[in-house]
Amino acid sequence: VQHNFTQRILNDKDSIVDGIYNERIKKVHTQTIDLAKNVNVGGEYLTNVGLSKDTIVGLSNTLNVGVDNKVRVSKNSSEYVGENKDIEIGANQNTIIHKDEIRNVKGNKKEVVEGHYDINIKETLKIQTEKETSIRSKNNLLITTNASMGFETDKNNTFVSDNSLSQTKTDYEVKAGNQILHQVGDTQIVTKGDYVIIKAGGVEVVIDSNGLVVKGGEIRTE
C-alpha cells in the first residue's frame, strides 16, 4: 500500500496467526474501543516504553497478581491518594530506607500492636510534645541505662506509689532551696536553711544556731 489504507468491518472480525506476529508503526498508533477490551496472554507479557507512559482510568482500577509483584523505580517515585487508603498484608512486611524518613500526619495517629514492640536506635532518641505526655502500663514499667539518668522539670515533680524504695551503692544527696519535709503520720522532720524541727508524739525539738530546744517534753537518758 503506497498511501493510506482504510478498513471497515460491519460485523465481527477473527484473526488467527499460527506463527509469529510482528507489527511495526513508525509514527503514531491510535486505538479507540467503545466498549470493552480483553487481552489474554498464555505466556509472558512485555511492554517496553522508551519515554513516558500515562494511563488514565475513569473509574476503578484493579490489579490481580497470582504470585509475585515487583516494582522497580530507578529514581523518584510519587503517589497521591485523594481520600482513604487501605493496605492489608497477610504475612510480614520489611522496609529498608537507606537514608532519612520524614512523615507528616496532619491529624491523629494510632498504632495497635498485639505482640511485642521493639525499637532499636543506635544514636539519640528525642520525643517532644507541646502538651501533655502520658505513659501507662498495666504491668511493670522498667527504665534502665548504663550511664546517668536525670529528671528535670520547671515546676512540680510528684511520685505517688503504694511502696517506694530508693537504694544507692555510694552517696545519696538531697538538696532543696527552701525546705525538706520527712513525714510519717504525725511525725515530721522539717529541714530549712538555718534550723531543723523534729515533731514526734507531741514533742517538738528545734535545732538552730542558738542550740537545741525541746517543747512539750524533756531530755533524759536511760
Grouping H, G, I as helix, E, B as strand and the rest as coil, residue 205 is strand
Find the mean pLDDT for residues 144-168: 92
Question: How many Cα atoms occupy the beta-carbon half-sphere of 68 within 13 Å?
Answer: 2
- Mean pLDDT for the chain? 92
Q: What is the pLDDT of residue 39?
A: 87
The pTM is what? 0.69
Burial class (CB in 10 A: 0-12, 13-18, 19+), 89: exposed
DSSP letter for each residue of 124-138:
------SS------S
DSSP 35: S
Percent of the chain scoring above 90 in pLDDT: 72
Domain limits of the chain? Answer: 179-215
pLDDT bracket for residue 176 (50, 70, 90): very high
Burial class (CB in 10 A: 0-12, 13-18, 19+), 19: exposed
Answer yes or no: is pLDDT of 221 > 80: no
Answer yes or no: is pLDDT of 1 > 80: no
pLDDT in tens, 83-107: 999 999 999 999 999 999 999 999 9
pLDDT in tens, 103-121: 999 999 999 999 999 999 9
179 phi and psi, to 5 degrees?
-150, 145
**What are 113's three cell numbers?**
500492636
Give the whole-angstrom CA distance, residue 66 versus residue 71: 15
